[in-house]
Every structure is written in C-alpha cells, then in structure tokens.
Structure 1
Amino acid sequence: MKTDGFHTRVSAELADIDAQGLTKPERVILSRQGPIIEVGGREVLNFCANNYLGLAGDERVVAAGNNAASAYGAGTASVRFICGTLGIHKTLERAIADYLGFEDAILFAAAFDANGGIFEPLFGAEDAIVSDSLNHASIIDGVRLSKAKRYRFATSDMADLEAQLKQARADGARDIVIATDGAFSMDGYVAKLGEIRALADQYGALIMVDDCHVTGFMGEKGRGSFSHCGVQVDFVTGTFGKALGGAMGGFICATAPVVQLLKQRARPYLFSNALSPAVCGASLEAIRIAQGEEGDELRARLFANAARFRGAMTEAGFDLLPGSHPIIPVMLGDAKLAQDFAARMLELGVYVIGFSFPVVPRGQARIRTQMSAAHTFDHIDQAVAAFTQAGKELGVI
C-alpha cells in the first residue's frame, strides 16, 4: 500500500525514542488523587502531582463538583456564545477575577487554550511579543499564532530583556508585551517580576504572566507571582487544574475591555465547548478554601514540606536546582537514567516521573518532585529514604 512508508516511519521514530530512553510511560492510577495513590494494584506515595494545596481529592471540592453536575448536567453541548453560557460560568469568572484582583476574567477549556488564545486577538503585525526562552509550550504556541514580531530573552536575564525591548522599540513596535511564566514548571524558578516591571515601565511595555504553577499558594492569600513580587501586571493566565482543585480549565484575568475583546475574538473560546459544570463547581469551592484562613494554613504546610524535603535531599547528596518553590527537580542528566530511576522508585513505593527531552533540554534529564500540603513529614522522610536507596543503587550518590 502507498501508506506503508508512513507507518514504517512512525514505528521507526517510536523505536528511536525508546532506544534513547525518552519514552514516557503512562502509569494507570486507580484511586483519587492525593499523597497516597493506587498504582499497579498497590498503594504508593505520590510525589509528582501538581496538587499543591491537596484539594484535588478533598471531599468538599468533590461534593461541590457533584452538586454542580446535578444542577446543570454533564455539559452544555455548545460553545459559550451559542448556547453554552451558564450561571455558574459567570460566577466562576467573577470569583477568579475578584480573588486575583482584576476587573474581569474569561474561562477556557484548558490553560493551554488560555495561553493559545491571548496573543492573536490582542497583538497584530505592528506589535511585538518579548518572550522568556523557557516559557511553557502553550505560550510558545500562542505566540506563533499571532502576527506580532517575536523576540526572545534568556530566562530571567534582565540585560537581555532590556536589549530585546530596545530592539522592539527600534523596530517601530506599536505595543510591546513581555510574556513570562510566573514560575517555570520544569525548574521551579520564580520570574523576576519586580525587575521586569521596572523595565516594562521604562520601555512602555505590557506584562503577561502565566501563573499556572503559582496561583493559590504564592503571594498574599495565594494570589500569584505578581503578588509575591509586589507588582501589578496586565494579564494573568492560570488554571483550575493544579492548586485550585486539580480538575482542568484555564482562565485569563485582565481589564474588562480586554476580556470583552477576547470573548469576541479568541478562537479557543469561540470554538470550544464551555467548561463543564462539575469543574466550575469544584473550582469555586477550591477558590473559597484557598483565599481563607484554611488556605493560609495549607500554604504554610506546603512550604514547610518543601523545605524539609529540600534539606534532607541536599544532605543525602543529590543535585537539586536552587529555590524555595514546591517544584524541586532532582537533576540526573541522562534520560535513560531518569527513566530507570523513576522505575526503581516505583518499586520502592514512591511514584515519581523521569523528565527528559523534549520536555526539558537534552542533557538535563531529571526527576521533578512536587510537594503538596497533603504530604506529612513522615511521607517526606519515606520518600527521601527511597531516593537515597535508589541513588546509591544507580550510582547517583
């Protein structure tokens, strides 16, 4: 058949991925998300979920999602502007905007869609986007969809950022937007938003921040990286799929006119079904918890857990990227070693994942651990013991 060559090529590419140790296995979880999960017929410690506040399996969050589904059904069977805007969508938009301190918000089926939909409607060929080189893939794809001129700066390198801003101005840009992750998901580094704000003011630029790995647990009441750094930004994108309930769905917070323009022009919003009622209900309950006193307690526990894990792993001799974020990468370098290490950890009762190219640069393979407020110190000590045993067996420490 004429298509045999295509299928042969796909099979060869898969074989090459596997030979390089880059295959990313899917391990099936048969329980609710939490610090302990069921994998392969047994319970293991979970140290790789983005469940920062431990709310993904919280009974109140689950009940709120179930109640919303009971009231509104499984879904709208429509996009928002046709027949798909529910009262609970408006309630969630108002809740996330108020929580983060913005005039308005727009919901998307996924945070990937939020980043994919923000640039093209707002910035044209006369404009410029200056993007951090380690930004999330969704920002990169969103930038590609825009006709704006593209500039990149080295991660958190303010001298390079200023050089790119100067170049954009010299090239006659009408509007410039600086795009950055609030916290970089593979490294746990927090963007230097204070310095970025100063440069944005100097060169008349806007700031867009992706706070998927910050909203809910950094800054005042968990409002995000801009709050953590004590500055204002123009656009914040985020998710309900991590700290705020762990389900899915994304949002953009901005001024009311910007949100209205996005609702008229953002393609992922106009051509995707509305966010399911269950996700909206669960997210609303997670926001309620996150912005209250209980949220303060969960945030304190989360960062105490991160400090304990980081200190014990450093003492054990592992190479960790510096920082205080609950993302704590254990650097291994080799892709196959990362896969073998993750497999051995699962045998020892700890679920972690090896990250390698193209998720991270070649030669920077790692185990990216994620702390949660739901972990106890005992969980952390058990995980460190397993890491230490695997590290000695595989020649890492």
Structure 2
Amino acid sequence: MQQHWQKQGYLFLASQNISLFGTMVTGYAITWYISLATNSGLWLALATVSTLRPQILISLVGGAWADRYSRKWLIMGADGGIALLTLGLALLWAAGIREMWLLLVFAGLRSVGQGIQQPAVSSAYPQLVPEAELTRINGLNQTFMALTTLLSPVLGGLILANFNLYWAFMIDIVTAVIELLCMTKIKLQAVVAASDEQNEATLAAGLKYLFNNTVLRRLFTINAAAYLLMTPATILSLLLIQRKFGASVTNLTLQEILWASGSIISGLLVAKHKQFKNNPRVFALAVGGFAIAMILMGEMPNLVLYLLTMFLAGWSAPFMMTAQAVIIQTTAAPDFMGRTFAAYQMGSNLMLLIGSLLLGPLADVVPLALIFASCGALLLATAVWYFQTDK
C-alpha cells in the first residue's frame, strides 16, 4: 500500500460517486416515467428485469476479468460504453422516437456495462485504501451515495415534471466524462496471484473459493435472502405510495428524500468509525432494523408516518452495506476479490429479479400492506438467524 494513499483513494471515491449521480438521475427519471405512465406492477417488474437480468448474466465474467485484467481500464471502458449508449438514446429521444420498449432495451444494455464495471470498482478499494481505513472509506462512500440519493430524485423529478428525459440523459453523459477524466489520474497496480493455481481466473474457481470460505458463504446466504425479501421496499414502494397517498412526482420525491436523509446521517456516523468491532453483528442488526421498518411501511395511516418508516429504512442501509463490504474486502484473497464481489452482485441482482417477477404481478391482486408485512417478518427472522450464527 502506498504511503500517501489519501489523494488516490479520495479521488477514486469522488469519481465513482460523480458517475453514480448521473446514473441515478437518469435511473429515477426513467423509472418514474414508466411508473407514472402505466401505474402497473407488471411494467415495474419488466423494467426491473431489464435492469437486472443482463448484470446477472455478465457479472461473474466481469469478476473474472477484474481478477485478470486492468481494473482501471475495465472501469473506464464500461463507463465510456454506457455514456455512448446514453448519448444514442438521447439523440433518439430528441428526434421524437420515444417508445416505452426503447427504455427497457436501453436499461438492459446499460446493465451489461454495470455488470463489468461494479466488480472492478468494489475490488479496487482494497488496492487504494489501507485495511484499517476501509470502514471509514466505505462509510463515506455510503454517505455520498445517500447524498446522491437525496439530490438525484429531486433533479430527476424536476426534469420529468418540467422538461423531458433528454436532459436526464445529458446529465448522465456529462458526469461520465468527468469520471473518465478523474480515472486517468488513478494508479491501480496489477493483482499478483499467490500461486498459478489461484490465478486461474475461471468462474468455477471463483464459486469454489466462495463456498469453501465459511465467513463468505454465511454472508452470501443471508445477503441472498435479504435481497429477495427487501424487494417490496426497494421496488414496490413506488406503487405503495402512489396507491395510498397519491400518484405524484412530489410524493415520489419526498419518499427518496426521507430515505436519503436517514442514510446520510447514519453514513456520517459510520464514517466516524475506523473499524467496527464485529462486522457480522452490525450487518445482522442493520438487516433487522430494515425489516422492522418494512413491516411498518404498509400499515402507516398517513404520509408523514410512512415517510418516517422510509427514514428508518434509510438509516439502516449504510450500516448494512458498509459492514458487508468490509467483510468481503478483508476476507477474500486479492486475486479472488473481483469474482467474490461479482458473485455478491450476481446473487443480489438475481434475488431482486426473482422478487420482482414474483411480487410485481402479485402486487396487482394482493394488498401491498400484506406483502410488506409478510416479507418484513421473514427478513427479521433471517437477521436473527445470522446474528445467532456469529456466536
């Protein structure tokens, strides 16, 4: 680890969050456009499938590449490709070609790029940041992500209410260019395998390594269950607030603002810690807190109380995401880091996809409050199980 890591580490952190901001502005604008135009759980499920399925198919390949090739150039190539796709869609939109299916195709193509980029980004942090500072840097990352979550829906909502999607696409392109310029200043050394056998960058070798590691196997088990059971809060909350409190951009924006506010405050608290004493228990408690908030969401009689539950769920997220990221970054071997994060990404997206396919159409025939309460109760039981396994 280089002696003066701060400049490289913080520049990398800033570049990825700048890019994320543009991506999220575009993502919110597209999702809300589809949601407000259709008011359909099926269409939201289709949008989710388009976003997640390509990542699931490509992520392990992306992880293997992150363990074999330059992570810097993988990040830059993927983000540059996504920017070109965004420019193409912006030009179509400006020309008046605004079919709904184009948004689904676009989401799918962007998903391929993200499936390549994300394992390389996640596995690059331990190369740039000392182990003792990983909790702090991941906490700051969660804070910046929460701030992005606070600002991007506001901007996305303003664009959707006053202009059209073309301007959301242009913001994504500009932020991608800034990220690429920052990345030219980042120095990432090639990963050196511990042995020739470990250097075999195959999908099978990565999965075998994951399942032979007790800590990672247990983490991935609860992570898969959690992402499946969190689907109502992450996907169907758009429908819940529309059906209970009114279909408006203002309500959707307020929901994201309260979630982000909780995440920003707790993210700053996480960043104050150099290290958690017990990352698995922090993760379990955060999942349990999220579960309780989700149970309450469907039962809130008015908008103010509902937004309070979103604040509580947002509060839990930085503890959850930081703890699991540090567990992976401090447990996985450097030459298996990319494939480990790719497997995590694939499992998370697969569970979200399954949850969306099951619960999206179900939300059109079953009360949303029942779906939220049932999944929340199961998620709470899962958190209790994981907490007990750490004893």
Q: Settle same-fold status: TM greater than 0.5.
A: no
Larger helix percent? 2
Instruction: Report which of the two structures shows the higher radius of gyration computed on alpha carbons.
Output: 1
TM-score by length of 2: 0.29
TM-score by length of 1: 0.29
Larger strand percent? 1
